[in-house]
Amino acid sequence: MHLPQFYDAGALIAVLTTQPLGRALDYRAPEGGCLLGAFVEVPLGPRKVLGVVWGPGKGDYDLAKVRATYRVLDAPPMREELRCFLERAADYTLTPMPAMLRLATRAPGLGDPPSMRKVYRRGPKEPEKMTAARKKVLAALSEYGDLSFTLKELAEAAGVGTSVVKGLVAQGAVLEEDSPRDLPFPRLDPERPGKDLTPEQAVGAAQLADAARAEQYGTTLLRGVTGSGKTEVYLEAVAGALRAGRQALVLLPEIALTAEFLTRVEERFGAQPAEWHSGATMTERRRIWRMVAQGDAQLVIGARSSLFLPFRNLGLIVVDEEHDTSYKQEEGVLYNARDMAVLRASICGAHVVLASATPSLESWVNAEAGKYKKLELTSRFGPAVMPEMRSLDMRDESLPSNRWISGAMRRAVDARLAAGEQAMLFINRRGYAPITLCRACGHQIGCDHCDARMVEHRFLKRLVCHQCGESKPMPSICPSCDAEDRLAPVGPGVERLAEEAVELFPDARIATLSSDMYGSARALKAEIEAIAEGAADIIIGTQLVAKGHNFPKLTLVGVIDADLGLQGSDLRAAERTFQLMRQVAGRAGRAEKPGTALLQTYQPEHPVIRAILAGDEERFWAAEAREREAAGAPPYGRMAGIILSGSDVAQVFDAGNRLARQDESMRQIGAQVFGPAPAPIARVRGRHRVRLLVKAAKSAPVQAAIARWIAQVPLKGDLRIAVDIDPQSFY
């Protein structure tokens, strides 16, 4: 094994900080020296900032002025693999290194010495006088054995006040001890028996477990209809990694999905994994960050940002629902977690499992081309079969205005209610109504800061801008013509659909699931669990419900507007609609009873709608791939979006025109530049937005050329340039 580079005290070192400086700065190594990758604290102007020792100093700064590193922090040094990953990810996404480092240090106080807390356990003595309350405390302690309680936890477990515990401490019947706050995670046991797998599942599980054990990069696309047991199969890959003494990471697209997954991990491995997400407390984050670095967290499940954790020995990354658009971070550092997972794995010699019932075209093409291994589960587990899918031709319906549930849909729901089963009505639109129109003057209420309509959210009693999040109370007077009480909602959102359902099905218990109706991820999780257990007869939901949840009693899925996603000019409109519809439909009939999915549509002859109903996925993908290839579009060609924004509209356009004129570096690589054009949403948060689009051949060195190209535009005032490599959305 080769030893990591060490710098003696006083040696010139380069330290990368999270401050937006563009490059690593020179410092002197601290007293006692430091390792390459060490987390350090360095002076920057009058401040102390966090940094990582990135290599030898450049020596191009006045040596007399080079300052000394304050101290090395008490954290495992950043490993070469992670440093390399951050650099390559920065190059790929054209992100400055400090911003990359920020992603990798999102744990507070990560260099502080482990803090301690008081814990309580049974002491050697008996209390002088036994009371009922004291008895309860001692009983709680003997019941839970070695579990270390905090004061509050112990008092709660015993159902007494904290003073009772303190009294027992004074008498030596209970011991108070210091214990480190950041505890290792309980060990997961891969040797516990898993579920009996079907032959098809077993073959896949063995293949993945072998791949996860091999210390070698590879990617497998695990395809299988919803309910085929993909999770069961990739848990065996996790077991393989754990057996080899390596760590595993499972990325889930939606925090609400984790509850069910945690339970399954516990059933399989006897303990819960570490859970990394934006809702985690600072203490939890710190603990996970540390334990991951020490190798004392074997399995992490998390959102996309968990890719930047300092794993000690990462052997497996699973990206569940790999096609999900939420893997693309659309603000700050623009990266796609699926692609970055493959990058990190290729650097650290880990295996990647991309799991989906409806893979992205990118992954499908990579698998077809042999870059990824393919693994397929063809049938649902047990008696469950794929739902029957049918379209409901809305041209035949004469629904009264402001009604969206057709007669046929209504009868289908009634039948499920009568049978004691669950039905789901799906609409991919949050809020009450997408448009608020003045019936006197025709004005539509828009956002003051964005070129977007405000969406009424009746639940919140406000109008909300889905672009910037700005909201205002619902007015009673038209802001344009002052007419009173003439504002009317137009079109349905999930809340309005729920209102219609309440009228049509007065005796049913109706639950509405939309991300903005729950204060916390926890509340949402609880609601989803309750529904899964049968607390509702009808579930009304947005795309939140399309993802992975298991509702065993659900036998009907009704899509209110299957055409909604097909209207956009988005390059991926067909792919997205296909995935979403198949995904939603997959919610139905996951247990013994077969399910049905009904799609309300005005264009039942549309090729995408027909492909969805036919369920011929191979044919759909092949056709979609041919179209993209003919157009030179991704994944056959490269694209990048350049988004210029600023408060001065003339300046923003000037910069855009300048880029369009001075495009030699792009022409050199044979790339085409389109635009500048006002972005579809031309103003967000008061900033005007202009887009350029770059199209290039797949092998063209796009990033380097773009870096040279955009460097020509001086960023005056508040003008900003964002580069979106492989854009997923074009707003």
Contacts with ligand ADP, residue ranges (CB under 6 A):
195-198, 201, 224, 226-232, 381, 550
Check residue 465 for interaction with Zn ion (CB under 5 A): yes
Partner from Zn ion, ligand ADP, none contacting 406, C-beta within 5 to 8 A by type: none
CB of 697 to Zn ion, least distance (A): 37
In the complex with ligand ADP, which residue's Cβ is closer, 232 or 726? 232
To the nearest whole angstrom, how small is the minimum distance from the Cβ of residue 493 to ligand ADP? 28
Question: What is the nearest approach in angstroms of Zn ion to the Cβ of residue 682?
Answer: 12
DSSP state of 242: H
Distance between CA atoms of residues 571 and 580, nearest Å: 15
523/27 Cα distance (integer angstroms): 48
In the list Zn ion, ligand ADP, none, the entry touching 232 (Cβ below 5 to 8 angstroms by class) is: ligand ADP
Q: Which amino acid is at 564?
A: L
Q: Which residue's CB is nearer to ligand ADP, number 533 or number 718? A: 533
In the bound state with ligand ADP, the residue whose beta carbon lies nearer, of 249 and 684, is 249
Query: Locate tokens 């792919």: which residue?
Result: 575
The residue (of 198 and 391) whose beta carbon lies closer to ligand ADP is 198
Asked whether the beta carbons of 12 and 28 are under 8 A apart, the reply is yes
Q: How far is the CB of 353 from ligand ADP (least distance, A)?
A: 12
CB of 225 to ligand ADP, least distance (A): 7
Q: Please choose which of ligand ADP, Zn ion, none residue 220 contacts, taking the beta carbon within 5 to 8 angstroms, the exact cut-off set by kind.
A: none
Give the nearer residue to ligand ADP in terms of CB position, either 375 or 574. 375
Smallest distance, ligand ADP to C-beta of residue 237, A: 13
d(CA 467, CA 39): 38
How many C-beta atoms surround the C-beta of residue 310 within 10 A?
23
Query: What is the spatial distance between Cα 221 and Cα 338, in angstroms, rounded to a whole number?
Result: 12
Minimal distance, residue 445 CB to Zn ion, in Å: 12
Q: Least distance (Å) from ligand ADP to the CB of residue 232?
A: 4
Q: What are phi and psi of 620, to 5 degrees?
A: -60, -50
Min dist CB 43 to Zn ion, Å, is: 41
CB-wise, 204 or 302, nearer to ligand ADP? 204
* C-beta of 201 vs 220, nearer to ligand ADP: 201
**Looking up tokens 């889905």, which residue turns up?**
466
Residue 224 contact partner, candidates ligand ADP, Zn ion, none, CB within 5 to 8 A by sort of partner: ligand ADP
198 binds, among Zn ion, ligand ADP, none (CB under 5 to 8 A by kind): ligand ADP
Is residue 467 within the footprint of Zn ion (CB under 5 A)? Answer: yes
In the complex, minimum distance from the CB of residue 670 to ligand ADP, in angstroms, rounded to a whole number: 42
Among residues 36, 237, 301, 468, which is the contact residue for Zn ion, using CB under 5 A?
Answer: 468
User: CB of residue 730 vs Zn ion: minimum separation in angstroms?
Assistant: 18
- Residue 272 contacts which entry, ligand ADP, Zn ion, none (Cβ below 5-8 A, type-dependent): none
* E strands, 368-527, in order: 373-377, 388-393, 422-426, 435-438, 454-457, 462-465, 471-473, 487-490, 510-513
Q: How far apart are CA 246 and CA 89, in angstroms?
A: 23
CB under 5 to 8 A by kind: which of ligand ADP, Zn ion, none does 133 bind?
A: none
HEC assignment per residue over 146-184: CCCECHHHHHHHHCCCHHHHHHHHHCCCEEEEEEECCCC
Q: Is 695 helix (H, G, I), strand (E, B) or coil?
A: strand
Sheet holding 299-302, edge to edge: 274-276, 299-302, 247-251, 314-320, 351-356, 218-224, 373-377
Shortest gap between Cβ of 565 and ligand ADP (angstroms)?
Answer: 22
Q: Which does 456 bind (CB under 5 to 8 A by kind): ligand ADP, Zn ion, none?
A: none
Q: How far is the CB of 720 from ligand ADP (least distance, A)?
A: 41
| C-alpha span between 253 and 322 (Å, rounded) | 8
Rounded Cα–Cα distance for residues 540 and 561 (Å): 13
**How far is residue 203 from each of residues 210, 229, 233, 268, 623, measured CA to CA in Å?**
11, 12, 9, 18, 30
Which of 196, 331 has the CB closer to ligand ADP? 196
Strands (E), 83-235: 116-122, 174-180, 218-224
- Please report which helix (H) or strand (E) contains residue 646, including its range: strand 637-646
Residue number with CB closer to ligand ADP (193 or 420): 193
470 binds, among ligand ADP, Zn ion, none (CB under 5 to 8 A by kind): Zn ion
Residues facing residue 328 across a β-bridge? 336
Structure-block tokens of residue 438: 């003045």
Among Zn ion, ligand ADP, none, the one that 362 touches (CB under a kind-dependent 5 to 8 A) is: none
**468 interface partner picked from ligand ADP, Zn ion, none, CB below 5 to 8 A per type:** Zn ion
CB of 686 to Zn ion, least distance (A): 9
By beta-carbon proximity to ligand ADP, the closer residue of 429 and 549 is: 549
Cβ(436)–Cβ(444) below 8 Å: yes
Q: Closer CB to ligand ADP, residue 220 or residue 226?
A: 226
Q: Where are the alpha helices (DSSP H) in 422-572?
A: 494-504, 521-532
Nearer to ligand ADP, 121 or 195 (CB): 195
Contact 205, 319 (CB under 8 A): no
CA distance 110 to 101: 13
Q: Of 94 and 450, which has the nearer Cβ to Zn ion?
A: 450
Q: How far is the CB of 198 from ligand ADP (least distance, A)?
A: 6
> How far apart are the C-alpha atoms of 152 and 550, rounded to whole Å?
35
Task: Check if the beta carbon of residue 698 is closer than 8 Å to that of residue 636.
Answer: yes
Assess 470 for contact with Zn ion (CB under 5 A): yes
According to DSSP, the residues that pair with 557 across neighbouring strands are 424, 597
- Residue 503 interacting entry, from Zn ion, ligand ADP, none, C-beta within 5 to 8 Å by type: none
For ligand ADP, the closer CB: 353 or 556: 353
Q: Which of residues 412 and 450 has its CB atom nearest to Zn ion in the complex? A: 450
What does 609 interact with, of ligand ADP, Zn ion, none (CB < 5 to 8 A by kind)?
none
Q: Residue 78 and residue 226: Cα distance in Å, rounded?
A: 39
In whole angstroms, give the CA distance from residue 98 to residue 521.
30
Torsion of CA 43, 48, 50, 53, to 10 degrees: 20
Peptide bond before residue 676 is cis, with ω within 30 degrees of 0: yes
Q: How far is the CB of 689 from Zn ion (least distance, A)?
A: 12
Q: Which of 315/548 has CB closer to ligand ADP?
A: 548
How far apart are alpha carbons 276 and 289 in whole angstroms?
A: 9
User: Among all chains, which residue has been given the structure tokens 């050329």?
Assistant: 705
Which of ligand ADP, Zn ion, none is residue 447 near (CB under 5 to 8 Å by kind)?
Zn ion
Residue 449 binds which entry of Zn ion, ligand ADP, none, CB below 5-8 Å type-dependent: Zn ion
Gap between the terminal Cα atoms of the chain: 50
Q: List all residues 6 or more positions away from 711 whose beta carbon is below 8 Å from its beta carbon.
A: none
Task: Give dist(CA 423, CA 593) in Å, integer.
Answer: 13
Give me the 426-455 binding string for Zn ion, x by CB under 5 A, dash otherwise. ---------------------x-xx-----
Picked from Zn ion, ligand ADP, none, the partner binding residue 228 (CB below 5 to 8 A depending on kind) is ligand ADP
Q: In the complex, which residues of this chain contact Zn ion (CB under 5 A)?
A: 447, 449-450, 465, 467-468, 470
